[in-house]
Copies of this chain bind each other. A is one copy, B any other.
């Protein structure tokens, strides 16, 4: 059976958008400002990579991805909240995101903080709406999401990233920052899909390795694109890392060695999928696509 990645991504993106639209309060729900601000950033044309990986992981472990959809939406809410807060003047101070003015530029800083808070909060409401199965409970979903989004992973990585600005950072430390700031939520997205699908212990282990490795590769590519791409292609400010004096893979290792490391990680991730067979075809194709992406 041939697999068309472009069609697959497009279909899944539409399904995720429809589910997000259904599961989030509409702009008419009071107070309208907060729901407009939440939706402004949530429906800003994101690629939905994390929710699609969540669904693809569920697909690799079971026949249906239905149970995973609220969790797919939850990880997108977490991702969007982290972008809104990350773009604030007191953090990375970015004016442009996904080709549009950032949330605080449109709604003001106060509402942007609250819109991020509200997206973070609703992510857990979506976990509570996800069906448990014979192996995993709502408590497992919530514990997984809270862990990868929390102070030891995503938020911890943001703090390390802020603290590393303008300072010399070793390759080991940089990898550590990337593991927390980026890889944790990608790995968590994949693990949540597996949990919702009632994955076996072995499947969950393989998908955890896969998620960790493509998560790191993703951030290396992101650093490379920030250093080499254009604002138009990326839909956000480029050379932001340089401006904020952030340590990056290209800065520490150069472009060629950075690209080689992203390739090595992707190969390792693909090897971890061997036991999952044909149902993991989408995950394989997405990993390869992520390595070659240009925005």
A residues adjacent to B (C-beta < 8 A): 25, 29-31, 33-35, 38, 81, 85, 88, 90-91, 108-111, 113-114, 116-118, 120-122, 124-125, 127-129, 132, 137-140, 142-143, 145-147, 149-152, 155-156, 158-160, 162-163
Contacts and interface: CB of A to CB of B under 8 A. Distances in A.
What are the 7 A-B residue pairs with the smallest beta carbon separation, nearest first? Answer: A90-B109, A125-B146, A138-B139, A118-B151, A128-B142, A128-B143, A124-B124
25 contacts: A25-B151, A25-B152, A30-B152, A31-B151, A31-B159, A31-B163, A81-B117, A85-B113, A85-B114, A88-B110, A90-B109, A90-B113, A114-B155, A114-B158, A118-B155, A120-B121, A121-B146, A122-B146, A124-B142, A125-B143, A125-B147, A128-B143, A132-B139, A137-B137, A138-B138
Contacts of A142: 124-125, 127-128, 138, 142
A88 B117 contact: no
Given A108-B90, A117-B116, A34 B127 contact: no
Contacts of A140: 128
Nearest to A143: B128
A151 B85 contact: no
A109 to B, nearest CB: 3
A35 B114 CA distance: 22
Copies of this chain present in the complex amount to: 2
Contacts of A127: 124, 142
B30 A156 contact: yes
B33 A159 contact: yes
A219 B123 CA distance: 28
B152 A29 contact: yes
A283 to B, nearest CB: 27
Nearest to A156: B31
Contacts of A122: 146, 150-151
A127 B81 CA distance: 21
Given A34-B151, A113-B113, A128 B118 contact: no
